[in-house]
Structure 1
Amino acid sequence: MAQQAGRRYLRAFVSGFFVAVPVTVTVLDRLAYVARVEGVSMQPSLNPEGGSEDDVVLLDRWSVRNFQVQRGDVVSVLSPRNPQQKIIKRVIGLEGDFIRTLSYKNRYVRIPDGHLWIEGDHHGHSLDSNNFGPVSMGLLHGRASHIIWPPNRWQRMKPSLPPNRGPLETEDDD
């Protein structure tokens, strides 16, 4: 009798496992997942201690599926230089914006349709649009919505642009 109950339990566990794994993978693929932020390129916003403990962020996949990002959002994108690597940067400009670059081949750039201008907060220590130019929105992977680790840094991440960064004002903006 106990052996039959054990088999029923094992069968229920295995069938539950084979339902739970695809559901979990779908949720992580479509809604959100967590990622560890490495390096100093986003200091002081992320990893302010400089490597003593990496921040872990919640990346919202749902909002970026229709490219719903705004200036100041911190986003994860597939690196234009290495598609095997994801990088995390701040959106400085959206399609149609004119940007004054920091070190790109052209001093001023109009962001083409379907592209973003992204930068790390720690200028000079970031591989970003100032190195490779505007980034296709097709490389967008997620938007950082919360810092979830370490516990003392838990917070919602709100869009914000660093001082003197963002699109240039044009006469049409009036």
Structure 2
Amino acid sequence: MKGIFLLLGSNLGDRMQNLQRAKDILAAHEINISDFSAVYESAPWGDENQGWFLNMVLKIDTIHDPESLLQSCLDTEIQMGRTRLKKWGERIIDVDILYYHDFIVESPHLRIPHPGIAMRRFTLMPLVELAPHEIHPVLKLPQKQLLEICPDILECHKTDLHLHI
């Protein structure tokens, strides 16, 4: 995998404004967006009794190592008012590290590549848009093939919404 990829997601309040604000806060943490996907709307994953999500993937450049990048992602969530009440619950913003080049990180609080990539259509669809032929460093399959075999049947579609970069 070439590049560092983040997934943004929101299903509370003005979802599009939440994605925009997260992008702006990340930029203040020395995270530069080099490319980004379209915005996708998806049915909630995990806990289906909540609003639909807007999701998108950012390809970034940064001076941060994986651990400090995670802290910047968590700081962004906190600054936007995210509270973690339950797993897979509603959220104003979620910022996940999907890939950090070909790094494989296994620690108690950080796993790279993100362990849910191959199981989530809302992650793979924007990833395929940006990096269809890049290989998952653990599964050894390209993103496009991971999407083709993804078991997730929840609805996910590209929107006409656009982030201002």
User: Which of the five TM-score ranges fits, normalised by the shorter chain?
Assistant: under 0.3
Q: TM-score w.r.t. structure 2 length? A: 0.27
More helix by share: 2
Indicate the structure whose relative CO is greater, using CA pairs within 8 Å and at least 6 residues apart.
2
Q: TM-score w.r.t. structure 1 length? A: 0.26
Q: Could you say which structure has the larger radius of gyration?
A: 1
